[in-house]
Structure 1
C-alpha cells in the first residue's frame, strides 16, 4: 500500500505586537510583494534636488487620485530629506522605475549627507515639472506630479498622502491618448521583493476576466 501522505503542518503565527521593529520589517517586506517603487523627487529650501526611492508606496484612489508613501527617519531619528522637503502642502514628483533605471534608482538609496543632491552626484538628467515646481527624472517612463494633502504619523511610521495633479508618460507608453489607453508593458516597471536587494519585473503577466454576478451564475449552472 502506498504510504499515507504526511500531514500538512499548521500555519505559523507571528504576534507582530510582541516583536521588535526589525523582525516585523523582515517578515512583512518578505510577504507583501511585489511592491511598486516611488522614486520621489523633492526640492530643498535652497533649491537643491533630492531623489530617493521608497517601496512602502501605493495608489490609494482615483477621485481624486491619491498616492501614499512612507518615508522613514534617519538612524538618529530626524526626518529624511524627502519628508523634510515636502512639508505641509508641498510638491513632489513620483517617478516610476523601469528595468533600465533600476541600477540608478538603487544608487540613490545611498545614505547621502543632508542637502546632498543625488541627481547631481550620479549624473541623473532631470526635466522641469509641468504642474508642480519639482522636476522629474527625464528618462522615467512615467511620473506623477503631486502635492501633499495630509501626513499621518502612527508611532514611528510617517505616511504622506499626495493628490496626483498631473501624469507625464513617455510616448512609447501612450497607446491611445484620446481614449486614455496606456501600453503598460512598455513601461517595463520593476517592483521590490523582500527587504534588501531583490526586485521583480512586470513582464510575466496573465489575464483574469472580471465576471458580473449574472455571468458567474450562468457559469455555475453550466457546471451543474
Structure 2
C-alpha cells in the first residue's frame, strides 16, 4: 500500500506514523504555572537528539480549539521543564497525568506521585521516576498546531539501583523503561539482548556466515 502524505488527512497521518515508528520512549514532563501549581503530562513524541550539547526534543499538539496545552504555555513562560522516564512502577500514574485536568490541578499529587524540588529549574522532580532530566528550553518552533521544543539538559537524576557503582552503565535488570507502540499499546524493556557490530572484516565474514545471535 502507498500513502500520499501530501494528500492524506491529519488523523490518518498520525495513525500511520505513530503505529509504525515505535516503540517511542515516553517523557513524563513537569512544568509549573505562574501561580506555582505543578503540571505533569506524558508525551511519546519525544527523544534525545544530541549529547554535545545535550538536547531533548518534545513534540506537542495544541488543543482541538487551538489553545495551547498547559505544558506548552508553561514552557513558553518559564523556559524550563523536567523530563522523567517511566517504568512499570509508575505506568498507571503516568496515564492519569494524561487526563485533561483544569489548569489549577496538581497532576503530580492527583496521580499519587511525590514532587520534590529540582536542582537548577523551577519545575518539580517526580521522586518515583527512575531517571529525570532538568531542561532549559533552547528553541521553541511552531508548525501550525504542532510545537517542537528543543531542551538542553542541565541536570540529571538517576536512582542509585539503576546504574552501576561507577555511574557509567545502566543496569538493564533494574532500569526497564516502558515505551508506546500504537493506540493504547505499550512495551516494557524487560527482554533485552546484545547485538554488537563486527570489529573488522574477518569478523564480519564469520558473522555473515553464522548470522547474528540473540
TM-score of the aligned structures, taking structure 2 as reference length: 0.91
Query: Paired residue for 2:166, among 167, 171, 177?
Result: 177
For residue 103 of structure 1, report the CA deviation from its aligned partner: 0.5
Q: C-alpha root-mean-square deviation of aligned residues, in Å? A: 1.9
Unaligned runs of 5+ in 2: 210-214
| 1:197 matched to 2:167 | no
- For 2:36 and 2:207, the matched residues in 1 are separated by 65
Greater C-alpha radius of gyration: 1
Aligned structure 1 segments of 4 or more residues deviating by more than 2 angstroms: 120-123, 216-224
The equivalent of 1:70 in structure 2 is 59
Query: Paired residue for 2:5, among 16, 25, 36?
Result: 16
Query: Paired residue for 2:149, among 160, 169, 172?
Result: 160
Paired residues for 1:92-103 under 5 Å:
92-103=81-92
> SS at the partner of 1:130?
coil
Unaligned runs of 5+ in 1: 1-11
Q: Is the 8 A contact 2:94 2:111 kept in 1?
A: no
| 1:119 matched to 2:108 | yes
Query: How many residue pairs align between the two structures?
Result: 209
> SS at the partner of 1:105?
helix
For residue 64 of structure 1, report the CA deviation from its aligned partner: 1.0
> SS at the partner of 1:26?
helix
The equivalent of 2:126 in structure 1 is 137
Report the CA distance shift for 1:73/1:28 in structure 2 as closer, same or farther (over 3 A): same
The equivalent of 2:205 in structure 1 is 220
Q: Is the 8 A contact 1:16 1:24 kept in 2?
A: yes
Query: Paired residue for 2:96, among 79, 90, 107?
Result: 107
Q: Is the 8 A contact 1:53 1:108 kept in 2?
A: yes
- For 2:185 and 2:204, the matched residues in 1 are separated by 40
The equivalent of 1:128 in structure 2 is 117
Query: Paired residue for 1:206, among 193, 196, 205?
Result: 193
The equivalent of 1:6 in structure 2 is none
For residue 203 of structure 1, report the CA deviation from its aligned partner: 1.1
Deviations 1:69-99 (A, max 9, x none): 1121112111100010011661110010011
The equivalent of 2:175 in structure 1 is 187
